[in-house]
Amino acid sequence: MLVDAELQGLDNQLGTYMQTSRQNYATQEKLLQDFQELIENYRQLKSDYEEEKESREKYKKLARGQERNPFALVLIDGDSYIFKDQHIKGGADGGVTAAQKLSNSIKELLQSTLYNDADQCRIMVRVYANLAGLSKTLSRAGLIGHESRSLAPFTASFNRSQDLFDFVDAGDKKDGADFKIREMFRLFADNSQCKHIFFAGCHDVGYLSMLTPYRGKSDRVTLLKAASFHQEFENLNLPIRELPSCFRSTPLNDALNSISLPTKGKLDMKTLPYTPKPKVCKFYPKGMCKYGSDCVNEHIDKSQRTLLRNFGKSSPSTDSDDTNSIGRFRLTELPSVVLPLKRPLAEGLIPINKDGDRLECICEKPSGDAWNTYKKRMSLHKVCNKRHLAGHCDDIDCKFDHSDLEPSSLAVLRFIMKQTPCPRGSACRQADCYAGHVCQKDGCRGGHECRFKPCKHIQYLDFKVTDWIEPDDSSTTEKSDLDIFSLHGDEGYEDSTPHSPVQEPLTEDILLRY
């Protein structure tokens, strides 16, 4: 039997074991709780990792897409950065040349900026200008014609020559071009696809606030220098480059110093130098030009040559009604000078003046040989005007000749019809109308020898073209006015209405006075 001391020792051991067991249980419980918490944290961490991984993949795809089409942006304030004179004078061909020169120059600059990446970079050009105002300024400098928006052929060809080249009309508001350029710069300045910006607007210190955040970032922005360059742009610590093959190196104002324009009243063309085309077609006066209206040289007949020789030699009096000499009229009072020679690039447009009256393109008088050819053809069979001039004739019983007409005879027929007033008058908007809408005879004031009313002459009607509009044939009826008043050959009107006066036939003697 155990003694008391042994029993006490066993009791102490049991108590120690029970205490140890309770501690081990508490430790196990704590371990199980920590393990459970660790599993929950792991699951949350795994979920966050999956979301982050998905976001990174999307970013990588986006970054790869942006790197796929890198480009360089060229921003040009076209009101002050003027292309070279030979480009402007070249018209449509000059627009193509200017675009090509600009493209080549920017590619050379990219080679020194992006090095190996330059070949992968496309070039985007945005030129913003007040097209009407710029046309007027260039016209005063003698670089283009005096028609409204006469720079349009140049800009249209500039746009077509390169896919990403745009010459944009910013309107006639004071800050129209500035606003466009600022917004374009802000849009692409931090765009990863846009690798570099060439800025051509260093004539205006108003752009400094826009460029200041990019001070010293030569890998991002390059300044282009032209005729007008403000010295404050040098403080931006940005590279400055010139494009001598593209832009004028001297201000355009230098070309205007010798030209004084009246500020009020009617514009007198004596204040502007006459600037003919580089070459004059020597075959046209002889009636031997085979290219017709598509000839690249200028067509000037004998009467126009006399006009230019007499201009300035005779007294420019226009108050006397008995003036018979063309040389005594101002150039602004001669339809052959004021009316446009050709239509714009978009075919079918109709010229109108500021009042909405329909005007004409100059219809040049045919040569004597062309008249002889026409008379021989008419002696055989009279031709159908609608077929040859409008391009179609819907009369299945038409008694006039539809066979092909010689180009010279067609020119005579067109000239004859342009001396025949259109019954619809100034409101005519028919695309294929081949009648006349204004009197094109230089020096004519209206009278018994002129078929046009006095109100259709340049002394009473504004002959300056202010817009080219789309034709509107919606008002054309099944039987138009020109079907009723139809002139065939040189015999005058064939009038189907019983009470219309018979007009004087348009004979060669009458037409030669034009």
Q: What is the pLDDT of residues 230-244, one digit of tens each?
A: 889 999 999 999 998
Residue 251's nearest CA partner among 79, 76, 74 is: 79
Query: Any idea what DSSP says for residue 496?
Result: -
- In this prediction, residue 257 carries a pLDDT of 46
Tell me which of 368 and 271 has the higher pLDDT. 368
Structure tokens at 125: 């050009």
Residue 218 CB contacts under 8 Å (≥ 6 apart), including other chains: 237, 238, 239
Structure tokens at 382: 């009279």
Both structure tokens of 435: 């009648």
Rounded mean pLDDT of the chain?
A: 77
pLDDT at 92 over 70: yes
241 burial level (CB within 10 Å; 0-12, 13-18, 19+): middle
Say what the pLDDT of residue 294 is. Answer: 60
Q: Does residue 491 have a pLDDT over 50?
A: no
Q: In a 10 Å sphere around its CB, with 0-12 CB exposed, 13-18 middle and 19+ buried, how is residue 254 labelled?
A: exposed
Residue with tokens 């202010």: 466
302 band by pLDDT with thresholds 50, 70 and 90: low
Burial (CB count <10 Å: 0-12, 13-18, 19+), residue 282: exposed
Nearest to 414 by CA among 450, 395, 440, 388: 388
Q: Is the pLDDT of residue 97 over 80?
A: yes
pLDDT band, very low/low/confident/very high, at 103 (cuts 50, 70, 90): very high
- pLDDT > 70? residue 465: yes
DSSP string of 379-413?
A: HH-PBPHIIIIIS----TT--SB-S---HHHHHHH
Scan for tokens 């150039």, then name that residue.
331
pLDDT at residue 488, as a whole number: 45
Mean pLDDT to the nearest integer, 31-55: 90
Confidence (pLDDT) at 6: 82
Task: Answer whether residue 57 shows pLDDT above 60.
Answer: yes
How far is Cα 21 from Cα 10, in angstroms, rounded to an integer? 16
Q: Which of 262-271, 294-303, 372-381 has the lowest mean pLDDT?
A: 262-271
Cα distance between residue 73 and residue 415, in whole Å: 50
0.85 surpassed by pTM: no
* The pLDDT of residue 497 is above 70: no
Our measurement of the distance from residue 54's CA atom to the centroid of its chain's CA atoms, rounded to an integer in Å, reads 47
Q: What is the pLDDT of residue 489?
A: 42
Q: How many CB atoms lie within 10 A of CB 132?
A: 17
Is residue 457 pLDDT above 50, yes or no?
A: yes
Digit-coded pLDDT (tens) for 271-294:
344 444 346 777 766 666 766 656
> String of b and e for 446-484 (b: at least 16 CB within 10 Å)?
beeebbbeeebbbeebebbbbebeeeeeeebeeebbbee
Question: pLDDT tens digit string along 311-335?
Answer: 444 434 433 333 333 444 555 668 8
Instruction: Please give the average per-residue pLDDT across 332-340, as a whole number.
Output: 79
